[in-house]
């Protein structure tokens, strides 16, 4: 019995060592860069007034189009948010489209509160938005656009957790994977739902 407990404890320690994370410090935040592509997946949670909602996400930005698919735990897409040069739109699981000029307007229209979707990928990359005021807390959290943003990083510097908080809302994203390529988009596409 003791040998099994020792083996199990050893396996748990090895597993814990493989998932070591650390909190990003103020000196690790950088100015906004250009990214040709950005792809990520994971889980997200939104908490407002002590009530929470959870879902899975698949997130891509390529050729000037940013798309976030919100999925059930079983993988069914319940909605898609897409932003391009023409504005932003959301498509529900029945194919109904909702449009707005900005992501904040659309989230306010659909959810009753605004989510910081416009800058989300910048903050996920550990950067502050250029041309907007920002500062850091004594604990290294970024404060910008009315949000307090912190990141927990994997050993390789990629984000494990992105946490955004304001007086009304908490948004938490846990990343399973993230890939990105620096540079300018090769061309300007439009959201697939527009075609």
Strands 21-23 and 65-71: unpaired
Q: What is the pLDDT of residue 50?
A: 80
pLDDT in tens, 45-68: 888 888 888 889 999 999 989 998
Question: Token pair for residue 119?
Answer: 């800058």
Query: What is the chain's length?
Result: 195
Burial class for 111, CB neighbours closer than 10 Å (0-12, 13-18, 19+) = middle
User: pLDDT-based confidence at 19, cuts 50/70/90?
Assistant: low
- Return the H-helix or E-strand segment holding 110: helix 103-111
Q: Is 121 helix (H, G, I), strand (E, B) or coil?
A: helix
pLDDT in tens, 137-154: 999 999 999 999 999 999
Scanning 40-184, the segments in alpha helix (DSSP H) are 103-111, 120-124
Q: What is the pLDDT of residue 6?
A: 43
pLDDT (average), residues 32-39: 90
pLDDT (average), residues 183-195: 86
Q: Which residues pair with 22 in a beta bridge?
A: 153
Percent of the chain with pLDDT over 70: 90
Q: Are 138 and 147 in contact (CB under 8 A)?
A: no
pLDDT in tens, 114-144: 778 788 889 999 999 999 999 999 999 999 9
pTM: 0.82
Distance from C-alpha of 75 to C-alpha of 52, rounded to nearest angstrom: 19
Domains of the chain (ranges, CATH numbers): 22-194 (2.50.20.10)
């Amino acid at each position: 019995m003791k040998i099994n407990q020792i083996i199990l404890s050893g396996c748990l320690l090895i597993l814990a060592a493989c998932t070591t994370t650390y909190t990003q410090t103020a000196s690790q935040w950088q100015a906004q860069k250009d990214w040709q592509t950005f792809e990520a997946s994971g889980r997200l949670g939104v908490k407002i007034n002590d009530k929470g909602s959870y879902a899975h996400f698949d997130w891509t930005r390529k050729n000037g189009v940013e798309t976030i698919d919100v999925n059930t735990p079983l993988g069914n897409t319940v909605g898609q948010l897409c932003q391009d040069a023409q504005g932003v739109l959301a498509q529900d699981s029945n194919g109904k489209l909702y449009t707005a000029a900005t992501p904040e307007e659309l989230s306010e229209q659909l959810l009753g509160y605004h989510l910081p979707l416009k800058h989300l990928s910048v903050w996920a990359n550990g950067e502050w938005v250029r041309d907007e005021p920002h500062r850091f807390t004594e604990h290294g959290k970024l404060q910008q656009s009315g949000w307090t943003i912190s990141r927990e990083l994997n050993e390789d510097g990629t984000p494990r957790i992105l946490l955004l908080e304001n007086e009304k809302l908490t948004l938490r994203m846990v990343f399973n994977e993230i890939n990105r390529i620096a540079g300018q988009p090769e061309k300007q596409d439009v959201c697939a739902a527009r075609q």
